[in-house]
Structure 1
Amino acid sequence: MTNTMSYKGYSARVEYDDEDGIFVGRIAGIRDVVGFHADSVSELKEAFHEAVEDYLETCASIGKEPQKAFSGQMMFRVSPDLHRKAAVAAELAGKSLNQWAEDVLSRATVDFR
């Protein structure tokens, strides 16, 4: 079961709030906080679409560029042992560590395109 939704290039994570008996979602990957909720899955989908449309309309009306584009550069730290294993895996695959990591991340995030 997936707890994500996608629409017009935007994704959202969805959770069920048992206390209120509703589904609650939030658009991911943007700096603004844009949430939505509904009582049923079909209503949730509609609410998500409305939230994206409202976000885009609001950005346009205030002259703000919606969702900043990502630079494509990532820097993160891993243990030396994991770094070694990744470098060896990349070499065995005949790729640079960057190429290998991009392939691995691409496969791991296929549902979020």
Structure 2
Amino acid sequence: MINTMNIDGHQAVTVFDSELDLFRGEFIGLNGGADFYAGDVKGLRHEGAISLQVFLKTCAAKGIEPRKNFSGKTP
């Protein structure tokens, strides 16, 4: 089952990884990968906030727009 979580205004898809015995989250709509793991939901939210801030700071430092732009056209 796939769930979503809103962290600081950004949506993340969350799942439970039974092989790792951890919850995994990955932000959607960003120009790059920003994923995070934790053993419980509270930890997942905390780790997600950290992952998002690192991603956004990196984008700002490189002058990259952090969100994907959707044109509606196929490549």
Q: What TM-score range do you get, normalising by the shorter chain?
A: 0.7 to 0.9
Is 1:27 matched with 2:27? yes
The answer as to 2:37 corresponding to 1:37 is: yes
Question: How does 1:4-83 map onto structure 2 within 5 Å?
Answer: 4-71=4-71, 74=72
Q: Give the letter for the 2:12 counterpart.
A: A
1:2 and 1:47 map into 2 onto residues whose CA distance is 18
* Secondary structure in structure 2 of the residue aligned to 1:64: coil
Structure showing the higher helix proportion among its residues: 1
Amino acid of the structure 2 residue aligned with 1:29: G
Per-residue CA deviations over 1:16-63 (Å, capped at 9, x if unaligned) read: 011111001111112311110001111000011111111110101112
- Mark the runs of 5 or more structure 1 residues left unpaired by the alignment: 76-113
Q: Which has the higher contact order (CA 8 A, sep 6+)?
A: 2
Letter in 2 for 1:61: A
Normalising by structure 1, we get a TM-score of 0.57
Q: Secondary structure at the match of 1:43?
A: helix
Give the 3-state SS of the residue equivalent to 1:6 in structure 2: strand
CA distance in 2, matches of 1:37, 1:66: 21
Other structure's SS at 1:65 match: coil
